[in-house]
Chain A
Amino acid sequence: MRDAVGMMRMQHIDRLLSPLPRLVRDIALELGKEIDLCIEGGEVEVDREMIEALRDPLTHILRNAADHGLEPPEERRLAGKSPVGTIRIGARQSGNQILIEISDDGRGINLEKLGGRAIAARLMTAAEWQKMSEKAQLATIFQPGISTADTVSAISGRGVGMDVVRNNVQAVGGTIELENVEGRGLKTILRIPLTLSIIAGLSVRAGAQLFGVTRNSVMEIISASNPNVRFEELGGTQIASIRGERYPYGKLEDILGVDAVALPGDTSRTLIVMRPAAGATFVLDVAAVIDHEELVVKPGAPLLMESGLYAGTSLPDNGRPLLLLDASGLAQAIGATHVDERHEHASAPRAVATERAASALLFVDFAGRKRAIRLAAIERMEDIDVAQIKYVGGALRAAIGDELTEICELSEVPDEVQVKLLRLAGGKQSKYLAVADVLDICTIDGTPHPSSNPDRDEGIIHALGEPVELVNIFQYFQNDITEPLAGPEGALCFIAARDAGHWERGILAPLLQASGYRVSFDEADRKKAGVVIDAESSTDGTRDDRTVRLRDDLLSDAADTGSIYRYDRAALMAAIQSKIAGAA
Chain B
Amino acid sequence: MTKSVYLLAEIAGARVALDSASIESVVLVPTVFPAPKADPSIAGLFALRSRVLTLIDSQYLITGVRRAVEKGALAAIAEISGHHYGLLVDEVFDVVAIETDAGESRIKPASKWAALAMQTVQVDGKLVLLLDLERMVGGRQPLAA
Contacts and interface: CB of A to CB of B under 8 A. Distances in A.
B16 to A, nearest CB: 20
B105 interface: no
A323 B45 contact: yes
A209 interface: yes
Contacts of B38: 303-304, 306-307, 310
A302 B137 contact: yes
A209 B31 CA distance: 13
A304 B137 CA distance: 10
A306 B34 CA distance: 15
B35 interface: yes
A325 to B, nearest CB: 10
Contact of B39 (A209, A307, A315, A319): A307
Interface string B50-76: 111010000000000000000000000
A314 B52 contact: yes
B118 to A, nearest CB: 20
Contact of A209 (B33, B41, B52, B138): B33
A227 interface: no
A390 interface: no
A315 B50 contact: yes
B6 interface: no
Contacts of B37: 255-257, 307, 309
Nearest to A308: B37
A320 interface: yes
A321 B31 CA distance: 10
A85 B51 CA distance: 46
B139 interface: yes
Interface string A188-211: 000000000000000000100100
A49 to B, nearest CB: 11
A170 interface: no
A302 B42 CA distance: 11
A42 interface: no
A315 B46 CA distance: 10
Contact of B42 (A303, A309, A321): A303
Contact of B138 (A206, A303, A310, A319): A303
A321 B39 contact: no
A321 B46 contact: yes
Q: Is the interface of B mostly helix, strand, loop or mixed?
A: loop
Contacts of B83: 300-302
Contacts of B34: 209, 258
B33 A321 contact: yes
Contacts of B50: 315
A298 interface: yes
B13 interface: no
B36 interface: yes
A173 to B, nearest CB: 16
Contacts of B31: 320
A175 interface: no
A206 B36 CA distance: 10
A313 interface: yes
A109 B38 CA distance: 33
Residue among A301, A314, A321 with the highest chain B CB neighbour number at 10 A: A301
A206 B34 CA distance: 12
Contacts of B54: 300-301, 303-304
A315 B50 CA distance: 7
Nearest to A303: B39
Nearest to A299: B83
Interface string A331-370: 0000000000000000000000000000000000000000
8 contacts: A206-B36, A256-B36, A301-B83, A302-B137, A309-B37, A315-B47, A321-B46, A321-B47
Given A304-B54, A306-B38, A321-B45, 9 more contacts: A206-B36, A209-B33, A257-B36, A258-B36, A303-B38, A303-B41, A315-B52, A321-B33, A321-B46
**Pairs of residues from A and B, 9 with the lowest C-beta to C-beta distance, nearest first:** A256-B36, A301-B54, A321-B45, A313-B52, A321-B52, A301-B83, A307-B37, A303-B39, A307-B38
